[in-house]
Amino acid sequence: MASKTILCPYCYTKFENTDALYQCENNQKNADGSPRCTPVDSKKYNEFWQIQNPIPYWWPQKKGLMSKLFGGTPTFKDQRCPKCRYPSSRFICPHCHNIIPNDMIEDGAKIISVIGSPSSGKTNYIVSLIHELSKYGHKVKLAVTADDTHTDGDESGSTDNKYRAFEKALFDKLKSGEERRVLNKTQIKKVEVPMIFRLDQQEPKHHIYLVFYDTAGERFQENLKNNVRYLRESSAVIILLDTLALDRVYEILEEEGLDGLGGKVDGKIDEIQTAIVNSRITDQIYSKPTAFVLSKFDAVLDHYDKLDINVDEFMDGGKRIDSSYKKTGVVDLEKINAISATIENALEGPWEQGRLRLFAHNWASAKNKALDYDEQDMFDPQNNYKFFGVSALGEMPDETMRLSDNIKPYRVMDPLMWVLYKLGEFKIKFKN
């Protein structure tokens, strides 16, 4: 069987799974407290994390003659550490020496990258997205699993543990006297650690990974420049943008005395576009499905009468219309197209003078790099972009960032469903 190409979710370097390195899993101690298998320095690991920290011993896979001559996949059986003879089935990337999930090594990995602009509520969105997938994914025959690998000695840093803590803060029932609040703003970190989730479908058996860098807004431009590779190598991209950063939306909130909710940041939408262009990723990923997601869309739905937008696609009789496939299991592409067109038309007017709409079109439309387009072009099925309006929380917080007890995410799965449709690799029922 031929080897499989792996894309490391940390350094985003490709390698064959036959080249993945084994790493010792021996955590036993000697009588004096010293480790039975002494950690070793790794220049690659230290350079990636910008630290000086020894890691467990590693070694190349032991390959048989036939594998050496003709290639092949690893056996994925335990191999004994050459130093201490302890059995191990842990793999690390040969380029950055970070631990790679075993199922990623065994099955290969395609990746959907999720990135977010300053103040877009990135953490709230990814937590709500995974929560909704866990709750309704079975309707579209999808299961989601949070990765539980972590750097040595820091189990709290695994995606699984981080997600569970976030989910508890947003969705667990409150005890008497407790208050629910928006998740804290992401702090600036020396090195960004990705959150990794696996999406599975059993019939036909298929999977893909969601990789999310929860980058502090202040480092958005820097992060794009430093991580061009992971966007270039991704199969699709979901870009989260702050609705409150749109000029007209913020003006309305100001008039209502709600500007304290944030959103008007130094990195306006047009500056975010500049960051994307300056990162030189547009020419490399324009052919990939790209979902432009306006977060905090409650601000629009709560004040639509002042924002010159037709909300028929979002509301019926004052009640929000949520994603129908959460009940039926059938993704309505016509609805997704109509929502995208409604947002595009609103962006053309006083919201943002059409800059973001034209940017998306010129980047990822079927008529790629065209100077402008007509109304019909928005519905071209060959387009590789769509606009989405979502709410991770289902409501705007109050001025102190306090939320109600009942969080109801709104359409947070839509961007992912459309991306999976464009990739065409999952057996999901789609209605045109």
Domain ranges of the chain: 5-107, 111-431
Instruction: Please tell me the distance from the alpha carbon of residue 285 to that of residue 277, in angstroms, as a whole number.
Output: 11
- Domain 111-431 CATH (choose: 3.40.1190.10, 3.40.50.300, 3.40.190.10, 3.30.230.10): 3.40.50.300
* pTM (predicted TM-score): 0.85
Residues 195-251: tens digit of each pLDDT = 889 999 987 778 898 988 765 455 555 656 555 666 777 889 898 888 888 888 888
Count of CB atoms situated within 10 Å of the CB of 106: 16
Radius of gyration of the chain (CA): 23
- Cβ contacts of 172 within 8 Å, gap of 6 or more: none
pLDDT in tens, 145-190: 998 776 655 666 688 888 998 888 888 876 776 777 776 655 445 5
pLDDT one digit per residue (tens) for the chain, 432 residues: 467 888 888 888 889 988 999 999 998 999 999 999 999 999 999 988 888 889 999 999 876 555 555 555 556 678 999 999 999 999 999 999 998 888 888 877 788 988 877 678 888 899 999 999 999 999 999 999 998 776 655 666 688 888 998 888 888 876 776 777 776 655 445 556 788 899 999 877 788 989 887 654 555 556 565 556 667 778 898 988 888 888 888 888 888 776 555 555 544 566 566 666 665 555 555 578 989 999 999 989 999 988 889 999 999 998 999 999 999 999 999 999 999 999 988 888 777 767 788 778 777 776 655 545 566 677 777 888 999 999 998 887 766 667 677 789 999 999 999 999 999 989 999 998
Residue type, 293: V
Q: Computed from CA positions of residues 370, 373, 378, 381, in that sequence, does the dihedral angle turn out positive or negative?
A: negative
